[in-house]
Amino acid sequence: NAGVTQTPKFQVLKTGQSMTLQCAQDMNHEYMSWYRQDPGMGLRLIHYSVGAGITDQGEVPNGYNVSRSTTEDFPLRLLSAAPSQTSVYFCASSLALGLAAYEQYFGPGTRLTVT
Amino acid sequence: RKEVEQDPGPFNVPEGATVAFNCTYSNSASQSFFWYRQDCRKEPKLLMSVYSSGNEDGRFTAQLNRASQYISLLIRDSKLSDSATYLCVVNIKPGGGADGLTFGKGTHLIIQP
């Protein structure tokens, strides 16, 4: 199993550009999530999904869109990039059963810089 | 008061020593507790869950103190490979789901030879 994969690993955008961060998992996990991690801050939840076709907002959803058309894929779209979105983005997945739901399997991350 | 607080460190500890650090949480309704480990420029990985009765996994021991609202992580006989950032994670929502998880900012541990 590849686990959780993310592409690209690095990205530089200009202010106002849009792009999609890709995330895929091959563990048949129901739950998938997107986080951002900034220096001096804990991981913050952007959006999450409890299954195909179902998404919901996390703590910091503004400026981001998600969709979940399949169990495996959960792309994150930046609508109009801003310097405040410079961050490391982690995608995560987990099972939906009891305590296992809390074990988040993270992808390797995407380092995004917006100039 | 922040929801989950950790001493950011760094904790500089000689190899072979015992080190412990705590994490305090503010929500008394918190359901579940976890320690994650994050290596430099890598993704976080679950280290261990923290049960009410305490939890031991090899050199690692995690404890929960609900009365004082903190969890702790003790590392015995520390190894160079233990150098990492340790994230405290608290869940406030029964039934699971990422939306119930709050991550601390992490404690940076450096094991010195």
Report chain B residues whose CB lies below 8 A from the CB of A39: none
pLDDT reading at A22 higher than 60: yes
SS3 A20: strand
User: Cβ separation of B87 and A109 shorter than 8 Å?
Assistant: no
The residue type of A103 is E
SS3 B51: coil
- When pLDDT is averaged across residues A61-86 and rounded to a whole number, the result is 97
Burial of A82 (0-12, 13-18, 19+ CB in 10 A): middle
* pLDDT tens track for B54-85: 899 999 999 999 999 999 999 999 999 999 99
Q: How confident is the model at residue B95 (pLDDT cuts 50, 70, 90)?
A: low
Give me the residue label for tokens 């129901």. A30
- When pLDDT is averaged across residues B43-63 and rounded to a whole number, the result is 92
Q: Is A85 on the interface with B (CB under 8 A)?
A: no
Nearest to A101 among B46, B96, B106 (CB): B96
- When pLDDT is averaged across residues B29-55 and rounded to a whole number, the result is 91
Report chain B residues whose CB lies below 8 A from the CB of A97: 96
Q: Is A2 on the interface with B (CB under 8 A)?
A: no
User: Cβ separation of A41 and B105 shorter than 8 Å?
Assistant: yes
- When pLDDT is averaged across residues B46-61 and rounded to a whole number, the result is 91
**Residue partners of B30: CB distance under 8 A and separation at least 6:** B69, B90, B91, B92
SS3 A59: coil
Nearest to B4 among A42, A50, A96 (CB): A42
Q: What is the pLDDT of residue B14?
A: 98
Our CA-based measurement puts residue A63 at a distance from the nearest CA of chain B, in whole angstroms, of 18
Q: What is the pLDDT of residue A100?
A: 63
With CA atoms as reference, report the closest residue to B105 among A44, A41, A46, A38: A41
Our CA-based measurement puts residue B88 at a distance from the nearest CA of chain A, in whole angstroms, of 10
Task: Say which residue, B28 or A110, is predicted with more confidence.
Answer: A110
Q: Partners of A76 in the beta sheet?
A: A21, A66
CB A109 within 8 A of CB A88: yes
Q: What is the pLDDT of residue B37?
A: 97
DSSP annotation string for A43-57 = -EEEEEEEETTEEEE
Burial of B26 (0-12, 13-18, 19+ CB in 10 A): middle
Task: Say which residue, B27 or B108, is predicted with more confidence.
Answer: B108
Q: What is the pLDDT of residue A101?
A: 66
Average pLDDT of chain A, as a whole number: 93
